């Protein structure tokens, strides 16, 4: 479910102001609501499953101009656009869609960028069906919402291919230095927002490439790295400095950076330690955490081994444990690396899967097998210490648990063997421990996550903010970006007030 | 990017790499490591820090040439840029005053044990150093290690030295011959050396710490490649280690996991050699 969120007054007024513009009103009246409702949802063109499950090129091809305009015409341009309240970064959705209908794609891209520095990414990886599109009034009326995500992707791609990437006006320099820790979705968002406000932003990244989960986790076939790099280049044009191979908490601490003049901090260091099930045989060769498997393939380009030095094990029969987006990315990766059988093993049933519906559908088309209500209880190795099978047990669903999903309960006597030569454990991760460890003053929760004031994303340390998986444990790209936006606005206020304090 | 200040062959197959890395030099402690990538195609490999110099802002490591990435490193020259040299990672060695410490080093571990021996010495311990080499021409840093040791031994498999024997036998001999007790053994080197030392000291109940060297990818606790079983619990070497109690390590598992990519390593080397020597 989307986070329940009241649209702030300021945003409501802005939406209304756009809504009342003459061109908008004329466009709205040009086609009746009844006619708009008759237009079918425009299908996202995609590559043939049998072709795409053998390489790492992108699955979705993107809407064409004509289709995009038609899709945009489906939007009823409601006076009270509920979709906006489903967006964690509060994009002015109706305005950008109506600009598409009007054919002004560049203006549309700029409209999105007022709220979201990374539209090419969000248009591809956001779970729209449980956010903006869930609350779309057209969905209430006809059952089929406007394809907001596909349109977002369209305008962003349009802007990129036109090489007409607009650099917004940047406020005059404030002289404040801000350190952003981690170049993932949360950190990139904070950096973009604060740079626009005239602060001097440095992103410190532990890995050798920026993007966080967008580079090491999400595969090329879902998010081409070219899109990510374009968006990072955009941030550089805003004046953001990137320092790679620098681990805050290790290479230098927050206190060290304070001495270098950094006034405010944002911690977006992300998910750290992968979770394992702690069952027998889990350290056999051929059992990966999803983090390791995807990092080898995506960040280290293991799919292009030996052109790249980092190898990755290829399995004929690969089981991926879990039902989230990471599990699906892993299983589809295994298929692309040549697995004859690539299988999802999930302890609940299909409806409880946390993955995006589109990804589940894509996986099915590509020949991924699903074993629902199943969980491994131990792994069996061969004489070389390599996994050869896993013993599983069937589950049934009981009462809903704290997450609201029905709790899986093992069925006695239902154990069975499944032959596998590769297993990938994708059951989530715990927050990265490096920063909390090096800052004992930082208040953390039960799971090692950093505790924040949700209104501002400020931590227990003054001037230190946090967001994304280091706070949430394991969430989505867009929620991390939402945190980034909230933090950026609070940090801007904090910095401006500190200036006033100094003057006083 | 980090500039190479020095790269030289110490002995066949073992190279020294000194890199300009001011932040790491300022903060690193004995037993920590860096993650290095020789070029954008390379693997991320962990190298134990063997020395550092704050004035020169340099960090030194000794590495064994094994796979493609270390071959590439061994061809780099002074003045070249290393794209990735990040750290200092892992927990530092727990240096305390405990009496007599026996430091064992073999292979790249002769370099890596040096700052450990030095720190134990500076903390007021009696330091006995035992270096293991297959033959005399594989010994390096002898004087450096002697300078921080109260006693110095070599185990070797050739006739150059009197002590022709495997490291565990010499280690046992030192333990038996000692009138005073040895309070701790610290071993760094190939997995077999660390395993053999742990086996040798187990009957005597001497605390034996080893600096494990499993395969790593990110080195910051994110991927879990480096997991090892210690005392029946899974640990991540990069954040929980690299030092563990050698008597509690599941050595069989570690040996197996280190062999995960043997065939791939050969394929990778062949590919690379063809590319650079067409």
The ipTM is 0.94
Task: Give residue A2's pLDDT band: very low, low, confident or very high (50, 70, 90).
Answer: very low
Q: Which of A287, A310, A474 to mutate to test binding with chain B, by most B CBs within 10 Å of its CB?
A: A310
Tell me the nearest-neighbour CA distance from A161 into chain B, angstroms: 27
The residue-averaged pLDDT of A136-162 equals 93
**Are the C-beta atoms of residues B134 and B12 closer than 8 Å to each other?**
no
At a CB cut-off of 8 Å and minimum separation 6, what does A34 contact? Answer: none
Which segment of A256-265, A284-293, B8-17, B151-160 scores lowest on mean pLDDT?
Answer: B151-160
CATH 2.40.30.10 in chain B is located at 2-89
The residue-averaged pLDDT of A222-228 equals 93
Question: Angle, nearest 10°, between helix axes A9-19 and A93-102?
Answer: 20
Residue-wise pLDDT for A426-464, tens only, equals 999 888 888 888 888 899 998 889 999 999 999 999 999
- What is the residue-averaged pLDDT of chain B? 94
* pLDDT greater than 90 at residue B109: yes
- pTM, 2 dp: 0.92
* pLDDT greater than 50 at residue A69: yes
The candidate with the shortest Cα–Cα distance to A426, out of A228, A222, A267, A274, is A274
Q: In what order do the strands lie in the sheet with A341-345?
A: A287-289, A422-425, A317-321, A341-345, A369-371
User: What is the topology classification, in CATH, of domain A177-272+430-503?
Assistant: FAD/NAD(P)-binding domain (3.50.50)
Tell me the nearest-neighbour CA distance from B66 into chain A, angstroms: 13
Q: A288 to chain B: nearest residue by CA?
A: B225
For residue A504, the model assigns a pLDDT of 56
Q: Which of A283, A306, A384 sits opposite B267 (nearest CB)?
A: A306
* pLDDT greater than 80 at residue B162: no
* pLDDT greater than 70 at residue A4: no
* Class of residue B186 by CB neighbours under 10 A (exposed 0-12, middle 13-18, buried 19+): buried
Q: A286 to chain B: nearest residue by CA?
A: B260
Class of domain A9-162: mainly alpha
Rounding to the nearest 10 degrees, give the CA dihedral for residues A295, A297, A301, A306.
130
What is the spatial distance between Cα B110 and Cα B156, in angstroms, rounded to a whole number?
13
Query: Given 3.30.230.10, 3.20.20.60, 3.50.50.60, 3.40.309.10, which CATH number is that of A276-427?
Result: 3.50.50.60
* pLDDT greater than 80 at residue A6: no
* Class of residue A102 by CB neighbours under 10 A (exposed 0-12, middle 13-18, buried 19+): middle
What is the spatial distance between Cα B118 and Cα B31, in angstroms, rounded to a whole number?
11
How large a percentage of chain A has pLDDT more than 90? 78
For residue A1, the model assigns a pLDDT of 34
Chain A residues near residue B84 by CB distance under 8 angstroms: 208, 245
Tell me the nearest-neighbour CA distance from B153 into chain A, angstroms: 35
The residue-averaged pLDDT of A229-257 equals 94
Please provide the DSSP assignment of A203-272 as one string. EE-SSSSS-THHHHTS-TTTS-HHHHHHHHHHHHHTT-EEE-S--BTTTB-HHHHHHTTEEEEEE---EE
The residue-averaged pLDDT of A345-350 equals 95
Residue-wise pLDDT for B168-206, tens only, equals 888 888 888 876 789 999 999 999 999 999 999 999 999
CATH 3.50.50.60 in chain A is located at 177-272+430-503, 276-427
The residue-averaged pLDDT of A180-208 equals 96
Which helix (H) or strand (E) is B119 found in, with range? helix B109-122
A&B contacts, CB < 8 Å: 127
For residue A5, the model assigns a pLDDT of 63
* pLDDT greater than 80 at residue A502: no
- B222, A251: Cβ pair inside 8 Å? no
Q: Which of B21, B24, B219, B223 to mutate to test binding with chain A, by most A CBs within 10 Å of its CB?
A: B223
Q: B2 to chain A: nearest residue by CA?
A: A245
Class of domain B100-258: alpha beta
Residue-wise pLDDT for A88-131, tens only, equals 888 999 999 999 999 999 999 999 988 888 899 999 988 888 88
Chain B residues near residue A309 by CB distance under 8 angstroms: 41-43, 67-69, 268, 272
Chain A residues near residue B83 by CB distance under 8 angstroms: 208
- Spell A240-254 as b/e; 16+ CB within 10 A means b: bebebbbbbbbbbeb
CATH level 2 (architecture), domain B2-89 = Beta Barrel (2.40)
**Are the C-beta atoms of residues B154 and B131 closer than 8 Å to each other?**
yes
Tell me the nearest-neighbour CA distance from B235 into chain A, angstroms: 11
**Are the C-beta atoms of residues A389 and A379 closer than 8 Å to each other?**
yes
CATH 3.40.50.80 in chain B is located at 100-258
């Amino acid at each position: 479910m989307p986070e329940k969120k009241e649209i702030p007054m300021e945003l409501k007024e802005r939406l209304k102001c756009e809504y009342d513009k003459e061109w908008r009103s004329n466009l709205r009246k040009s086609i009746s609501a009844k006619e708009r409702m008759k237009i079918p949802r425009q299908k996202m063109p995609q590559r043939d499953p049998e072709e795409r499950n053998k390489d790492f090129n992108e699955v979705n091809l993107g809407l064409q101009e004509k289709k995009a305009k038609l899709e945009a015409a489906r939007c009823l341009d409601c006076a009270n656009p509920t979709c906006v309240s489903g967006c964690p970064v509060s994009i002015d959705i109706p305005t950008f869609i109506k600009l598409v209908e009007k054919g002004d794609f560049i203006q549309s891209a700029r409209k999105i960028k007022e709220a979201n520095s990374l539209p090419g990414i969000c248009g591809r990886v956001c779970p729209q069906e449980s956010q903006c599109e869930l609350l779309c009034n057209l969905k209430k009326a006809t059952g089929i919402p406007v394809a907001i995500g596909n349109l977002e992707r369209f305008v962003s791609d349009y802007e990129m291919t036109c090489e007409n990437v607009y650099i917004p006006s940047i406020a005059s320099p404030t002289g404040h230095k801000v350190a952003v820790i981690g170049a993932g979705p949360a950190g990139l968002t904070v950096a973009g927002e604060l740079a626009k406000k005239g602060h001097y932003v440095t992103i410190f990244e532990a890995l050798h490439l920026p993007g966080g989960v967008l580079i090491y986790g999400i595969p090329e076939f879902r998010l081409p790295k070219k899109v990510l790099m374009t968006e990072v280049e955009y941030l550089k044009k805003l004046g953001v400095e990137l320092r790679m191979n620098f681990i805050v908490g290790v290479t230098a601490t927050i206190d060290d950076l304070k001495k270098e003049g950094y006034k405010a901090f944002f911690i977006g260091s992300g998910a750290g330690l992968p979770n394992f099930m702690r069952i027998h045989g889990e350290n056999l060769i051929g059992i990966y955490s999803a983090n390791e498997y995807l990092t080898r393939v995506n960040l280290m380009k293991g799919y292009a081994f030996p052109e790249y030095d980092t190898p990755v094990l290829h399995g004929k029969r690969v089981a991926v444990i879990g039902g989230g987006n990471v599990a699906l990315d892993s299983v589809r990766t295994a298929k692309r690396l040549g697995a004859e059988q690539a299988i999802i093993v999930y302890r609940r049933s299909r409806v409880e899967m946390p993955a995006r519906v589109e990804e589940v559908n894509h996986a099915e088309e590509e020949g991924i097998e699903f074993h629902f209500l199943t969980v491994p209880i131990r792994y069996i190795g061969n004489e070389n210490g390599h996994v050869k099978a896993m013993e599983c047990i069937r589950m049934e669903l009981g009462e809903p648990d704290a997450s609201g999903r029905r709790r899986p309960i093992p069925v006695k006597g239902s154990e069975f063997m499944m032959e596998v030569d590769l297993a990938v454990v994708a059951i989530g991760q715990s927050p990265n421990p490096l920063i909390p460890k090096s800052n004992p003053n930082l208040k953390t929760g039960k799971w090692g996550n950093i505790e924040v004031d949700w209104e501002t994303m400020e931590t227990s340390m003054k001037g230190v903010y946090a967001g994304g998986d280091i706070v949430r444990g394991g969430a989505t790209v867009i929620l991390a970006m939402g945190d980034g936006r909230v933090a950026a606005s609070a940090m801007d206020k904090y910095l401006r007030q500190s200036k006033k304090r100094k003057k006083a | 990017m980090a500039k190479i200040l020095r790269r030289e062959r110490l002995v066949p197959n073992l190279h020294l790499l000194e890199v300009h890395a001011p932040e790491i030099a300022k903060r690193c402690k004995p037993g920590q490591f860096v993650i290095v990538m020789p070029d954008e195609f390379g693997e991320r490999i962990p190298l134990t820090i063997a020395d550092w110099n704050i004035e020169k802002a340099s960090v030194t490591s000794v590495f064994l040439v094994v796979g493609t990435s270390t071959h590439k490193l061994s061809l780099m020259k002074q003045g070249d840029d290393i794209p990735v040299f990040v750290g200092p990672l892992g927990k530092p060695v727990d240096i305390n005053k405990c009496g007599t410490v026996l430091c064992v080093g073999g292979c790249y571990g002769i370099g890596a044990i040096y700052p450990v021996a030095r720190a134990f010495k500076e903390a007021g311990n009696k330091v006995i150093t035992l270096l293991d080499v297959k033959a005399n021409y594989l010994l390096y840093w002898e004087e450096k290690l002697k300078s921080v040791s109260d006693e110095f031994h070599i185990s070797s498999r050739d006739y150059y030295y009197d002590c022709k024997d495997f490291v565990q036998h010499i280690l046992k001999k030192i333990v038996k011959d000692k009138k005073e007790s040895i309070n701790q053994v610290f071993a760094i080197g190939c997995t077999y050396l660390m395993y053999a030392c742990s086996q040798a000291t187990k009957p005597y109940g001497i605390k034996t710490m080893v600096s494990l060297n499993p395969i790593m990818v990110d080195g910051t606790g994110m991927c879990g490649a480096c997991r090892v079983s210690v005392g029946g619990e899974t640990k991540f070497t990069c954040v929980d280690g690299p030092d563990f109690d050698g008597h509690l390590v599941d050595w069989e598992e570690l040996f197996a996991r280190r062999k995960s990519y043997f065939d791939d390593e050969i394929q990778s080397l062949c590919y690379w050699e063809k590319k650079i020597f067409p």
